[in-house]
A and B are shown apart, each in its own frame.
Chain A
Amino acid sequence: MTTTKNRRDTVASSRKRWNESGLALLFLGPTMAVFALFSYYPLYRLVYFSLYRPNRNSFIEGADEWIGFSNIWDNLASETFTAALWVSAKFTLMTVPLGLTAGICLAVAADRHLRGIKIFQTIFSSTVATSVAVASVVFTTLLQPENGLWRDVDWLSLNKSASAIRAISVVAVWQNAGLTFVIVLAALQAVPQEIKEAARLDGYGTVRNFFSVTVPMISPALMFLAVVLVVNALQAYAQFEILQPVKTAQPLLYKIADPDGASTISTRAVFSLGLFGVTILVSLLQFNLLEKRVHYGN
């Protein structure tokens, strides 16, 4: 009797599990399809092109040519890749800390009840609504080497690689500050009023209050920004393409997009995998370093 009941229970629970799995698949399906089409398949093709040289000759039938893992190692060790990686790294180091700091300062300044503060909040956050391309075009009026307003500022000259990175960083800092502003302001406004008041009564001064109470309370937003801004900086392209008359500074994505047609598709596929790897590594590093300092929820 008991055995029959147990068996019946087992059948019922296994049917329930199947039903639940089906439901889960139904919900996951659309996302999985989009990921498969736009992420997993392109990633597979990248790996494929890193290992095979495609047969471009449509008249002669033939399989793509196996070029092996050496193609990956050789390209990743090449001067082209390392130089571009260095440009991307410098660009990231210049734009992320400065953009974050500027955005946080603006958000702290604008987080108060004043007449007309909404106007400032709108102005400070307007860079979020500006695309990289538009921002770059706007900044050409300042940076353009022949007739830009800053044409005589030597350390922001677009004609030399080192100063070009600095000049392009100005645009990125301007944009990062806007994104940081919006997110940090929202995070600041979510800090309960009573906690701010408790800190005042405890006797924290403005600076200590900010670092001891406010920063930990908004740490999830700061962590998010640190990761997103670094990923964005590593994937910068349009600013470099639009602002520079002569492309002296070429970051990783420039080498991958390769508007000059300098590299084969197999080389560019390897560079893409390289960028993918660098992004993952840097993000993991950030998570490892920052996660312990981030406080989530109550």
Chain B
Amino acid sequence: MSSVSFENVSKRFGDTTAVDGLNLKIENGEFMVLLGPSGCGKTTALRMIAGLESVSDGTLRIGDQIVNDVPASDRDIAMVFQSYALYPHMTVRKNIESPLVARRSTRLPPPERDQRVAEAAGILGLTEYLDRKPGALSGGQRQRVALARAIVRRPEVFLMDEPLSNLDAKLRTQTRAELVQLHETLGSTFVYVTHDQVEAMTMATRVAVIANGALQQSGTPEEVYDKPANLFVATFMGSPPMNVLHGQIATGTSGLEAQCSVGTIPLNSAASALGAGAQVTIGLRPEDLIIDPDGHLQMEVSLVEHLGHERHLHCSAGTTNVVLRQSSSEPSAAVGDRVSVRADSNRIHLFDPDTGNRIQ
């Protein structure tokens, strides 16, 4: 087990900056998910930990050791690639064994090797496939072989680059749970890269949201979801994404409120730091919008999406569109219905319209 810390780490490819002054400490035994859209620099950050990319600036540590100039093979890490990167000409046994035999100097004696392979194969349910080649396995089984190859060397840090993206939805859900169990069993540090916020929410002990090469926020999944540090994190986390409205703070009869083009949203006392007349960006999670005859926002239902366990209502008023999440057990509205919508005043997110940073 080991921690990993980025201290002002940057990575440049020619004129392009992929990672820009990243500061992040991944603690011992943590399951850290680096989350962000494609091209945000999260994979580059992971590859720098692996030693597959050099560090342009800053200091990268694994444990107490600065690893900026340590070759990939000398870092005590194991990586699971998106395409699994199994050796197609080797059997599953040889693939799993590979890190134990690759270097003559650190090669383990055969009995210990066999024992470690059997142990890894046992953990991942691969025992009966040991003599097959990867070509004869399904995507899920290949993914397990890649994991077994990683755990067999008992590394300080596990690195995973979108390992579930090639699996079908059902298998992905199952493997997510298995990865969490594996993390609990091994107790090692996991660094996991994904663009899928569901994976981040379900597996991470901590999430680091990255955009444009810079860290936007790090925290537990609940913190990142409930208190997004800025508008990017707010809209990136959550599906359907957070609704964003623009308004102005005013003092109404029952206290502070935000006046928007579609109506007035009452705010709680936490917004009192803002003076009347201030411009504000309001974030409303779809599940925090409720259809209520006393609601302040008057809208028309333009689309209803049934997902089985829940329902998404797309409502509009003028050019403003919002999405509401409802339980399927609630009575449904029909397309064309006019509805009054109320926002849960304790669950309203306010952002600075200029910087996008969270106000409360």
- Using a CB–CB cutoff of 8 Å, the interface residues on chain A facing chain B are 192, 194-195, 197-205, 208, 212-213, 216-217, 219, 295, 297-298
Contact = CB atoms under 8 A, between A and B. Distances in A.
A208 B104 CA distance: 10
Contacts of A208: 102, 104
Contacts of B87: 195, 198-199, 213, 216
Nearest to A205: B103
A201 B78 contact: yes
A225 B46 CA distance: 39
Contact of A201 (B79, B86, B88, B106): B79
B105 to A, nearest CB: 9
Contacts of A201: 50-52, 72-73, 77-79, 99
Nearest to A216: B89
B81 A204 contact: no
Given A194-B85, A198-B86, A217-B89, 20 more contacts: A192-B85, A194-B82, A195-B86, A197-B52, A197-B72, A197-B81, A198-B85, A199-B87, A200-B52, A200-B72, A201-B51, A201-B52, A201-B79, A203-B73, A203-B103, A204-B73, A205-B103, A208-B104, A217-B88, A297-B88
Contacts of A205: 102-103
A194 B102 contact: no
Contacts of B88: 217, 295, 297-298
B135 interface: yes
Contacts of B89: 216-217, 219, 295
A217 B87 CA distance: 8
Pairs A-B, 4 closest by C-beta atoms: A194-B85, A295-B89, A198-B85, A216-B89
A200, A203, A205, A217: which has the most chain B beta carbons within 10 Å? A203
Nearest to B159: A201
Interface string B61-104: 00000000000110001110111011111100000001100111
Contacts of A195: 85-87
B102 A197 contact: no
B221 interface: no
B135 A202 contact: no
23 contacts: A192-B85, A194-B81, A194-B85, A197-B52, A197-B81, A198-B79, A198-B86, A200-B73, A201-B73, A201-B99, A202-B99, A202-B102, A202-B149, A203-B102, A203-B103, A204-B73, A205-B102, A216-B89, A219-B89, A295-B89, A297-B135, A298-B88, A298-B134
B102 A198 contact: no
A208 B317 CA distance: 67
Nearest to B153: A202
Contacts of A200: 52, 72-73
Contacts of B77: 201
B161 to A, nearest CB: 9
Contacts of B83: 192, 194
Contacts of B81: 194, 197-198
A198, A199, A204, A219: which has the most chain B beta carbons within 10 Å? A198
A209 to B, nearest CB: 8
A195 B50 CA distance: 14
A221 to B, nearest CB: 14
A138 to B, nearest CB: 40
Contacts of B102: 199, 202-205, 208, 212
Nearest to B142: A298
Contacts of A295: 88-89
A202 B72 CA distance: 9
